[in-house]
Amino acid sequence: MKSVCFLFFIFFASSSIVSAQNDGRIVYRISTERLSIDDNESQAKQKVYKLLNSLSRIRDSLYFHLDYSNSESLFYLNKNKNIGMSNEKGYNSVVRSFNTVYYVNNETGNIIEQTISDGNYLVTSSTDEMNWDTTKEKKIIDGYLCFKAITNIKAQSLTKGEYLKKIEAWYCPSLPLNIGPKMYGNLPGLIMELIDGKLTYYVDSMDLNPKFKIQIDKPNNGKKISKKDYLSRQPKITKDNFEEYIGN
């Protein structure tokens, strides 16, 4: 009985610490799924896979911040921190693939993705469009009990066109923050791990009681466009138009 009371105390105490402190910073990093290189494959494929694996080392060296203050949060690449790979060939290319800043307001449901492609864009969407299926699958991450949730989001790919992309999240209820990497959140606990394609975002460190000021600057530089319209602008390569893009 005493041990049960003690566990309840610890749970509520930790929840109180997180909820009483409305500002904080979660630091994420990425683990890229490595490509297996088969000696029976063509030289061309072996070569390009080795290249992509070397670029994965660079990607996995990056640090991302998820800053939150009350109902707002901001997810972005920390360009000031690197572990000495900035002189590696391909570093700038990898960093550029993470130039999107994600702003989420859980009170209004607004999501803004500030991104640069053929111009500066503010891509808008809503947290209402994200519907999670929670599962009973669980695991311990850094000492926290976490559960798995899955969502399928509308995405646009150069090769697939419009499709539904599966995203997996491991959220931890004992960390009552409904936020996570990129624009993913709205789960009853902080997302400690997020699997997006071949990339797994994971928590590197947490500062739930920062001594520095957390400032959430809502992105405002760019042309406003809905997510639907932004996705529809993306090109699609098919067998019919292949030679317009490749090999010409």
Partner 1 sequence: MISLMTFGLSNLNLDIGDYCRDETFSLMDVALDQGFSVEETTCIANVFYAECEGYDIGNSYADCLD
User: Where does this chain bind partner 1 (CB under 8 A)?
Assistant: 32, 35, 42-45, 47-48, 51-52, 55-56, 59, 89-90, 92-93, 96-98, 117, 157-160, 197-199, 234-235, 237, 239, 242, 245-247
**Spatial CA neighbour of 31 closest among 207, 203, 172:** 203
CB of 212 to partner 1, least distance (A): 29
CB of 222 to partner 1, least distance (A): 16
CB of 191 to partner 1, least distance (A): 18
Q: Which is nearer to partner 1, 66 or 155 (CB)?
A: 155
Q: Which is nearer to partner 1, 60 or 142 (CB)?
A: 60
Q: Which is nearer to partner 1, 6 or 245 (CB)?
A: 245
User: Which residue type occupies 49?
Assistant: Y
CB of 232 to partner 1, least distance (A): 14
Q: Which is nearer to partner 1, 80 or 87 (CB)?
A: 87
Q: Which is nearer to partner 1, 19 or 234 (CB)?
A: 234
Strands 223-226, 120-126: parallel, antiparallel or unpaired by DSSP?
parallel
Q: Which is nearer to partner 1, 128 or 240 (CB)?
A: 240
CB of 184 to partner 1, least distance (A): 15
- DSSP secondary structure letters along the chain: -HHHHHHHHHHHHHHHHHHH--EEEEEEEEEEPPPP--TTS-HHHHHHHHHHHHHHHHHTT--EEEEEETTEEEEEE-TT--SS-TTSTTHHHHHHTT--EEEEETTTTEEEEEEESSSEEEEEEEGGG---EEEEEEEEETTEEEEEEEEEEEEEETTTEEEEEEEEEEEETTS-----STT---SSSEEEEEEETTEEEEEEEEESS-SSPP-------SEEEEHHHHHHTS----TTTHHHHS--
Q: Which is nearer to partner 1, 218 or 236 (CB)?
A: 236
Which tokens sit at 66?
A: 């998820």
Query: Any bridge partners for residue 193, and if so which?
Result: 170, 202
CB of 123 to partner 1, least distance (A): 15
CB of 195 to partner 1, least distance (A): 11
Q: Is the dihedral of CA 103, 149, 94, 240 positive or negative?
A: negative
